[in-house]
Chain A
Amino acid sequence: MIPLYYYTILSAVLFVIGLIGFLIRRNIILLFMSIEVMLNAVNINLVSFSSYYDSLDGQILSIFVMAIAAAEAAVGFGILIAFYRNKNVIDSDKADLMKW
């Protein structure tokens, strides 16, 4: 059996990859995808802990995470389409009307 910490390390690596992607990418769709990678890191964590504790709570929570992420993506793409209609780009650099 694979020890628990393998999963934790995998999830930590995925989380960091997602975070770095979020910070350095400029294309908004890629930003969404980076966040999805981070959420998948969370799901790996939850499911591996769930099997470690032999309880279902973590797996149920991971289904919650997926369902709500889908709802978020729907709203996010709606916002992105409205943005695209006005600007004709999906670059986060172009969202620069307001600065501190």
Chain B
Amino acid sequence: MEQLNYLSLLPEIVIILAGILVIAADLIIDKKDNIISEVISVLGLIIALFLTGNQFLNPEIISQNNMLISDSYAVFFKVALIILSLMVILISSHHIRERGITHRAEYFTFILFATVGMMIMAGSLDLVTVYVGLELMAISIYILVGISRTEFLSNEAALKYFLLGLLATAFLLYGISFTYGMFGTTNLVVIKNFLQNNTTANSGYILVLVFLVIAFGFKVAAVPFHMWTPDAYEGAMTPVTGFMSVGPKLAAFAVLGRVFVYSLLTLKAEWTLILTIVSILTMTVGNVVAIAQTNIKRMLAYSSIAHAGYCLMGLVAAGGLAGSLGLQSVLFYLSGYLFMNVGAFSIIIFLNKKGISGSELDDFSGLNERYPGIALMMSVILLSLAGVPPTTGFAGKLYVFMAAVKSKYMFLAVIGVLNSVIALYYYLRIIVYMYMKKPADLKEETNRSVPLLLVLGIAVVAILVLGIYPEPVLNFAKSAAGGMF
């Protein structure tokens, strides 16, 4: 165990340097329509991806005074986060020019900084680093949501997200302060050992659990802490929505897994009860309210709430008999969710018109006649979100429900299946619009940039590959989840 080990932090350092370089390059090179920001960001992320992949080959390293860990669990999330960030940068490159965002370099810098924040969360072994990583992520994303400064919707979304994010932070810190008060430390390994040696029940533990669930409930948009989600998702620029609908969720689930499953496993009776209730509420409210939405971005916001509910179900299963199988199913589900959501938001970007975001349900009517290829890809993505085979949405749900059944949470699995049926309705409605309605009579300018179509293609292929041949990712998730028990 080394005190300071910068080698294991190399991916984060590279991304931070790339972020600073983006700003510097923007200052030096005159403000013509250059793509230097994108090039630097993408290069930095690719180098970081290789460095992170290299960490997978090494045994786990605990570094920086037991604050950070790089084990296969952290590497799994870091790889997913870097891929997300790469895809988001590629889909936003053309879009932010169309929307006339003047602060292009800052936009990419904050995407990179948010990525680093989430990577720190994924690799943290101490509640202090969880907090610092979470804030780095949250502050960057507040700025990204509000980056179209002159638009009302963007201002309002940023303000709502910011205020409720602050509230979540206060709850997290209050929870951390009581954790410190009860255990005398914030280190998750020490807490784990303490709990294993002192089995006497302490009602104060429940207080800590409740505060942590509230704080991370805000970040994963679990009901009843989801109020900000639809507004922030609708008001933010579409690539940012894609980013914030996946990234914070991945990072928060990484922390939930690390804190609850790894560190507080002895208290599983308490936290599985809390998470069961939250999971049922999240699935049901998300899916039922999504039916009423006519704006696709709002609908996807509620659908992302519902997906968080399914993941929470897997987490509950991880506290039950299924053990590592439950956590593995969460990891696999999230990796599929990444491609589904980025794909769906790429299509909304593709349909973007000048000024309006192109995200109303009517914008999709008759899409098949206008762009048959795009309509087909959207159908694959929607069927995957609904959980229809042979897509990753189906495989992910299958594993989550299987884990729930194995943990003897039959009712939870039944509620999950019923919810998938509800979800099918509003996803299929878009497909009906695309294939059976007459196209709306509007000539729109679509976003035909090559990187966007590339990302779209990658997302669709990944959805199908993860659905048909999930073994490689599943094995990766298995080794990642196995180390947590």
Contacts and interface: CB of A to CB of B under 8 A. Distances in A.
Contacts of B135: 68, 71-72
B163 A31 contact: yes
Contact of B149 (A49, A57, A82): A82
A92 B163 contact: yes
A98 interface: yes
B71 to A, nearest CB: 24
Contacts of A32: 166
A98 B153 contact: yes
Nearest to B179: A49
Contacts of A95: 155-156, 159-160
A64 B186 CA distance: 14
Contact of B186 (A57, A75, A76): A57
Nearest to B187: A57
Contacts of B153: 97-98
Interface string B158-169: 111011001101
Interface of A: 8, 11, 15, 18, 22, 28, 31-32, 35, 38-39, 41-42, 45-46, 49-50, 52-53, 55, 57-58, 61, 64-65, 68, 71-72, 75-76, 78-80, 82-83, 85-87, 92, 95, 97-98, 100
A83 B176 CA distance: 32
A98 to B, nearest CB: 4
19 contacts: A15-B170, A18-B170, A28-B159, A31-B163, A39-B173, A42-B176, A45-B178, A46-B177, A49-B181, A61-B186, A64-B131, A68-B135, A75-B142, A76-B142, A79-B162, A87-B152, A92-B159, A98-B231, A100-B230
B281 to A, nearest CB: 16
B4 to A, nearest CB: 17
A83 B145 CA distance: 13
B174 A41 contact: yes
B180 A49 contact: yes
A11 B132 CA distance: 22
Interface residues of B, number: 40
A24 to B, nearest CB: 14
Contacts of A22: 167
Contacts of B231: 98
B199 interface: no
Contacts of B128: 61, 64
A58 B180 contact: yes
A78 B145 CA distance: 12
A83 B151 CA distance: 9
Contacts of B64: none
B289 A65 contact: no
Nearest to A71: B139
Contact of A86 (B143, B152, B176): B152
A64 B166 contact: no
A79 B142 contact: yes
Given A75-B142, A98-B153, A57 B167 contact: no
B185 interface: yes
Nearest to B146: A79
B100 interface: no
A45 B289 contact: no
B167 A42 contact: no
B165 to A, nearest CB: 9
A45 B180 CA distance: 9
B152 A35 contact: no
